Amino acid sequence: MDMEKVISYGIPAGIILGGMVVSALLTRIFRGLAVRLDIMDRPKSERHKKHGHATALLGGAAMGCAWIFCVVAGMAVLPFAAERVPELAELAQGAKLAWKNLLVLGVGAVLSVLLGLYDDLRGMKAQWKFLGQFIIAVFTVESGGTKISLFVDNQWFILAVSVFWYMLMFNAINFFDNMDGLASGTVAVAMFFFTVIAVINGQFLVAALAALSCGVAWGFWWLNRSPATIFMGDSGSLLLGFLTATVSAKVSYFHWDNSLSYFPILLPLFILSMPIFDAFTVFVIRCAAGKPFWIGDNNHISHRFVKMGFSRPDAVRVVHALSWIIGLGALPLLWANFITSLVLTLQLLGLLFLILFLQLKFK
């Protein structure tokens, strides 16, 4: 294997590992800080929460600090590394040209953590939290170049679709944070697939961002898995939602030169199908019952697996397994022709409908 391939695959793998270690260490530190400052999640005020004791609530701040630290460290080290390893020169040049966009992403990540942290500590009405999410989304799309066009050359359409995607990810990941390790593990799996796709496309800077986000989520997962000793809170779910929206929008799925169909643009929907599927079903259930869709309950996909007889940790494992299965099944859309892509898409949709059918049997 030549040096270029070692760099292409080795660097993202190293970033995942590094992000995981930094995130796990900072999560331990912030867990102790939360206990000392009495920043704890106490379940008695919200009936849908099932943990039996107070749990540290600074996971989002830990992940945010880990992500920012690794980005800054990477930007500082990369020019020196490129002098010793010529194959890193392209990545270093790309990072240098994209520093303004990286700054915008850093600001967006910090604002997401702060918005969620304020809600964790003081509580916010839903409309103000949505407004905060909307402002962060518009700022990132307009200033950071994170845009989704869907082949439509209209700036208002692109803005609307891009902001909608951010709002969807903010709230889908927020809704999905309902069991120990569920949201963090699912985002880590999704970020792994985005890393792979970015590497295949030669988008090495995007691959680095995806790999870092993957590592940070996985590092936090080790302490957030059942029985969790720290929760991410809204600060963590909004951060992961922001990173998920950003990375998934920056990865390229369709290329006019070599894509054999338009089906690759469905890849982010399949990779993120578990939180999107969950958000959609919960939204419909709550609206049909005449309840505000932002009020928590026990109608999530994970809760329905528990009603089917799984333990809570096993329900989380099933969702993570489904994320891996659907992601692996969708990956060939990148290079498949129209007929193969159609078959794969129908197969994946069939799997989602099967999950829906089984869960409707256990209301």
Please count the CA atoms within 13 angstroms of the CA of 186 that sit on its side-chain side. 37
Cβ proximity of 324 and 251 under 8 Å: no
125 assigned to some structural domain: yes
pTM of the predicted model as reported, rounded to 2 decimal places = 0.93
Q: Are 324 and 189 in contact (CB under 8 A)?
A: yes
Q: Six-digit token pair at 151?
A: 């082949």
Q: What is the pLDDT of residue 363?
A: 62
Where in the chain does DSSP place strands (E)? 40-41, 55-56
- Among residues 106, 110, 108, the alpha carbon closest in space to that of 95 is found at 106
- Tell me, yes or no, whether 345 lies in a domain: no
Q: Of 277, 252, 260, which is closest to residue 348 (Cα–Cα)?
A: 277
What total number of domains does the chain contain? 1
Task: For residue 164, tell me if it sits in a domain.
Answer: yes
The Cα angle at residue 280 between residues 119 and 274, in degrees rounded to 5 = 90
Across the chain, which has 363 residues, the per-10-residue mean pLDDT values are 67 94 97 93 62 82 97 90 75 79 94 96 92 97 90 93 97 94 97 96 92 98 94 96 97 86 94 94 86 81 90 96 96 94 94 85 67
- Residue 66 CB partners (closer than 8 Å, separation 6+): 19, 22, 23, 26, 27, 216, 219, 220
Query: Which amino acid is residue 150, in one-letter code?
Result: L
C-beta of residue 104 within 8 angstroms of C-beta of residue 143: yes
Residue 299 lies in a domain: no
> In this structure, is residue 332 part of a structural domain?
no
The closest alpha carbon to 121, from 213, 211, 42, 218, belongs to: 42
Confirm whether 343 is domain-assigned: no
Q: How far apart are CA 347 and CA 79, in angstroms?
A: 46
- Domain span at 157: 3-259
CB 305: neighbour CB atoms within 10 A?
24
Helices within the chain (DSSP H only): 3-37, 59-84, 89-97, 99-121, 126-144, 155-176, 182-201, 204-224, 233-250, 267-271, 273-288, 301-307, 312-330, 338-360
Helix count and strand count (H, E) for the chain:
14, 2
Tell me which amino acid residue 362 is. Answer: F
Virtual torsion, Cα 148, 129, 191, 227, nearest 10 deg: -160
Do the domain assignments include residue 331? no
Question: 223 is written with which tokens?
Answer: 């302490």
DSSP structural state of residue 228: P
Amino acid at 203: Q
